[in-house]
């Protein structure tokens, strides 16, 4: 289920999905997430919204990467993912977009619930 949420302090809605997703996933504010991603991007000589930069930040924060089941690659939506993942924190990667799922709720500035995720990162419980 999609819940409209925009953590951007200036209420911008595009171009910062990685920052919003990291802020939601880590439970931090937008500016802190921006700094973490920018620093990681700088240290790897890449842009802060590159998949491997985002993934590296998530890995550093006890997330593990998993693939989306391949039995229905063109019909398994973010909404389907939310229905199957009612507990926990996840970051979905759609190919050009990322969003956080927290306890079955898709947190995003726009309704991306019908988008097809390619893979996800899940918070590991310790």
Q: Which two tokens stand for residue 94?
A: 């759609």
Query: Containing domain of residue 92, as a range?
Result: 2-123
Is the distance from CB of 47 to CB of 53 less than 8 angstroms?
yes
Number of domains in the chain: 1
> pLDDT tens digits for the chain (126 residues)?
999 999 999 998 888 999 999 999 999 999 999 999 999 999 999 999 999 999 999 999 999 999 987 777 678 999 999 999 999 999 999 989 999 999 999 999 999 999 999 999 999 976
CA-nearest of 89, 22, 30, 88 to 57 is 22
Q: In whole angstroms, how large is the CA radius of gyration of the chain?
A: 14
Considering only the C-alpha atoms of the chain, give the largest distance between any 2 of them, rounded to a whole number of Å.
41
pTM: 0.94
């Amino acid at each position: 289920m999609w819940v409209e949420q925009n953590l951007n302090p200036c209420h911008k809605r595009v171009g910062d999905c990685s920052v919003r997703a990291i802020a939601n996933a880590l439970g931090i504010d937008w500016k802190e997430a921006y700094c973490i991603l920018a620093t990681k991007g700088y240290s790897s000589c890449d842009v802060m919204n590159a998949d491997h930069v985002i993934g590296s930040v998530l890995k550093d924060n006890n997330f593990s990467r998993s693939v989306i089941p391949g039995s229905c690659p063109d019909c398994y939506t973010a909404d389907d993912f939310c229905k199957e993942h009612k507990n926990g924190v996840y970051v979905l990667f759609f190919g050009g977009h990322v969003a956080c799922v927290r306890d079955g709720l898709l947190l995003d500035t726009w309704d991306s619930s019908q988008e097809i995720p390619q893979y996800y990162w899940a918070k590991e419980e310790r």
